[in-house]
Amino acid sequence: MRDLLFLLPPGFESKNRREYCPECAEIWGLLHYYPAIKDSVEIIYQPLEHPRAALVERLGEGQWNCPTLILAETSPLFPKIQPEISNDHPYFGSAAQIGQYYAARFGTALPRGS
């Protein structure tokens, strides 16, 4: 079983123009810096519109932030970076938290300012 990484797609229509999510792009950059991490996750793209059904299904109503990393049952936990819990699922709901978790788990560099 792999972790689930929820991202917005690399480009989407909003406000009559093409946009991207800076936090999702940060996580994509991290995955490209450290490609071995990709084997640990299943990437699930979410639509821009709320609610984002795949996230709500797992974490509950009002939980639809991207990027979000939901940990698999077998994924390790670390004392210095504790996940939030919703519907019995441990998760990290920001690029900075995901970066800190990957630093603990895979030995990557830490996000600046963390």
pLDDT at residue 76, as a whole number: 97
- Express each pLDDT in 69-108 by its tens digit: 999 999 999 999 999 999 999 999 999 999 999 999 999 9
pLDDT at residue 114, as a whole number:
83
- For the chain, give every domain's residue range: 3-106
Neighbours of 68 (CB within 10 A): 28
| pLDDT tens digits, 8-58 | 999 898 889 999 999 999 999 999 999 999 999 999 999 999 899 999 999
- pTM to 2 decimals? 0.95
| Angstrom distance (rounded) from CA 105 to CA 47 | 29
Q: CA 6 → CA 16, 29, 79, 112, 113, distances in Å?
A: 24, 15, 24, 22, 23
The DSSP bridge pattern shows strands 3-7 and 12-14 to be unpaired
Q: To 5 degrees, how large is the angle CA 50–CA 52–CA 58? A: 140
